[in-house]
A and B are shown apart, each in its own frame.
Chain A
Amino acid sequence: MTSPLLTRIAAEHAAALTAQSATPQSLAHRRTALQGLLARGLPTPRDENWRYANLRPLEKANFTPGTAAPALSAAQLPAAIDGFTRFVFVDGQFAPQLSAPPGAVGAALVTRLQGELASDEQAFALLNEAFATDGADIQVAATETPVDLEVLFYSASGAAAYPRLNVRLAPNARLRLIERHIGAAAPAQFINSVVRVAIAASAACTHYRLQETGNAATWTDTVRATVARDARYDLHLLQLGALAARSSVDIALAGPAAQTRVDTVALADGQQVHDTMIVVDHQAAHTQTRENFRGIAAGRARIGFNGLVIVRDAAHHADSAQSLKGLIAGTDAEIDLRPQLEIHTDEVRCSHGATTGKLDDAMLFYLLTRGIEPAVAQRLLKWAFITDVVAAIDVPALRVHVQRSLASHMQDAQSLEDLLS
């Protein structure tokens, strides 16, 4: 497959490799990844699962990563969350002066991920493989008290960034991981991350992913999680930033009684496009999924959410519930919700609900009759729409951060300050 875009990517790739010092096997691996990408091609809006994504900014994107991380001071970063050990990457490169020293953190071992990740068929994962230079490798041993880590990816310049995280939990390990993506408002950046999470038996990982990149950014990611017997994976996904963002999450419930909960909040305004696709694959018996999505689109923004739940032959007594809700807050805004079920066995319990609408007139009138300003009443109802999903964030300081971020995106700092107090 070839296209002007792929040809340009190949040229940028060749130039980037000569500029980097890398081991021969690493170079070979990246060339293989690029070949994979060129053979496969990038997705287009004609692909069923990419209909709602905005891929056009890729035509103008710069794919070449920076060679040196720009200097950044700790004051330019958001406040750290109490008790969480922080590691910072700037433009995809580890920033030791802003980070805790790599090594042991409680039951975890955090090191730089400079090797390769297992191959992936997904186009954007291959693109990451082809260009990525740095990342974090997190291994967690069995522990009673969870290890609390934060990995922060900051995009400072117009260079492309390819963040990578490889997370492995041993049996009975516990991890709470904050993964934050933030960035300067300008210039436009291309950020393409890959995250792998492998959770062994009876381990538990709570993963908070905050996409708060600059609003000129193009953001794509590929997340793959495997959850073994009696293990659990809770994913909180916040989609706030970027001009065009697309998240692709695959969760395999591979062992009996594996569980996952995925809560997503997306807020889009202006010309933003946020598209999220989450696939949960029930491969074993008694596996459980709880999936919630709340999206508010204002202005001319578009939000897409595609939640596919697959229940395989072996997954008898699987139990899944999806609750997807969209709120249209702009006359030209659009929300597309697609709950999908693919069931290959009997004896399952799968429910799903998807609703998209405008603010409820009866609720609005009720608030007005109590003397509340119409603009405040509208913001209150928007806030109410997402609040249950935000409330599920069980790290109080992080929850407050998320609430404030949401409030500032709703341009409603004042009334929400009141609400939080």
Chain B
Amino acid sequence: MLIVEDLHVSVGTTQVLKGLNLTVPTGEVHAIMGPNGSGKSTLSYVLAGRPGYIVTSGAVTFDGQDLLALAPEERARSGLFLGFQYPVEIPGVNNVYLLKAALNAARKHRGLQEVDAFEFLGLVREKMKLMQMPETFLSRGVNEGFSGGEKKRNEILQMLVLEPRLAILDETDSGLDIDALKVVAAGVSSLRDANRSFVLVTHYQRLLDHIVPDKVHVLAGGRILRSGDHTLAHELERRGYDWVVSEAA
């Protein structure tokens, strides 16, 4: 599904990713862990196409197409979803409008008809129940005045409605209490299937207790230094990152 080859990315004058390789097969959940400043968020942003993140060399293939050649909105419509570490507040654009516009953009891309209003509301209500979000959220501005936890739930809600092929969740677990973490994990698990892949970017292993990944990668200094199965997350939790870095040196 996703193949990242020798990716070099700079932000401003700083080289952040320095030859990153990563393959996420269809149907798998991969976790990317690593210390602060290792390039985790940069990887998320560059995959989603954020302006200012300059690919200096390397390639990214998503579902067989050259991902880097697509504009951010085309990536989204092709089935790539980024769950933001810091979801943006957009007062004045209401949540339900954004959800509907986003869903219809994706459907149009797939050659499907726009969803009718009744069907849409039914779908959204069902997903909101799963995310334990009150319906009043729908009429509010996008993330406007939401707490940190509410914003993260809202990201997952959008993901559930859009049903992407590949979801990149950038530190969706940070700032969540245990209950919210469980709700978010349940949301992700409900979408997990053989046709979909996930990249979970995280600092901590605790999210991975609820969503057991197929693979865990350690990103440090702009490269993947080590990969393993889910037990690697526990080892990192116990021993920290230093040993990975020194073994790789």
Contact = CB atoms under 8 A, between A and B. Distances in A.
B216 interface: no
A381 interface: yes
Interface string B90-106: 11110001101110011
A351 interface: no
A370 B92 contact: no
Contact of B76 (A362, A370, A385, A386): A370
Chain A binding site: helix, strand, loop or mixed by DSSP? helix
Interface string A369-389: 111111011001101111110
B109 interface: yes
Interface stretch (B9-17, B18-26, B81-89): B81-89
Interface string B165-180: 0000000000000000
B73 A372 contact: yes
Given A365-B50, A365-B72, A371 B90 contact: no
Contact of B90 (A366, A376, A418): A366
Interface residues of A, number: 25
Interface string A400-421: 0000000000000000001100
B51 A387 contact: no
Most interface-central of A374, A384, A385, A419 (chain B CB within 10 A): A384
A64 B142 CA distance: 52
A363 B88 contact: yes
A366 to B, nearest CB: 4
B71 interface: yes
Contacts of A419: 97
A369 B91 contact: no
Contacts of A367: 90, 93, 98
B15 to A, nearest CB: 22
A361 interface: yes
Contacts of A371: 73, 76-77, 101-102, 105-106, 109, 162
A361 to B, nearest CB: 7
Nearest to B86: A362
A367 B49 CA distance: 12
B105 A372 contact: yes
A368 interface: yes
B77 to A, nearest CB: 5
Contacts of A376: 101
Most interface-central of A361, A372, A385 (chain B CB within 10 A): A372
B73 A368 contact: yes
A385 B93 CA distance: 9
A368 B106 contact: no
B205 interface: no
B51 A361 contact: yes
Contact of A369 (B76, B92, B93): B76
Contacts of B100: 418
A418 B51 contact: no
Given A365-B50, A365-B51, A370 B158 contact: yes
Given A365-B51, A385-B92, A418 B76 contact: no
A365 B92 CA distance: 16
A365 B162 CA distance: 17
A331 B174 CA distance: 39
B128 interface: no
B65 to A, nearest CB: 16
B87 A373 contact: no
Given A384-B90, A387-B92, 19 more contacts: A363-B88, A363-B90, A365-B88, A366-B142, A367-B90, A367-B93, A368-B71, A368-B76, A369-B49, A369-B81, A369-B82, A369-B84, A371-B106, A371-B162, A372-B101, A384-B93, A385-B92, A388-B92, A419-B97
Interface of B: 48-51, 71-73, 75-77, 81-82, 84, 87-88, 90-93, 97-98, 100-102, 105-106, 109, 141-142, 158, 162
12 contacts: A362-B88, A363-B88, A365-B51, A368-B76, A369-B76, A370-B105, A370-B158, A371-B76, A371-B101, A371-B162, A373-B105, A387-B92
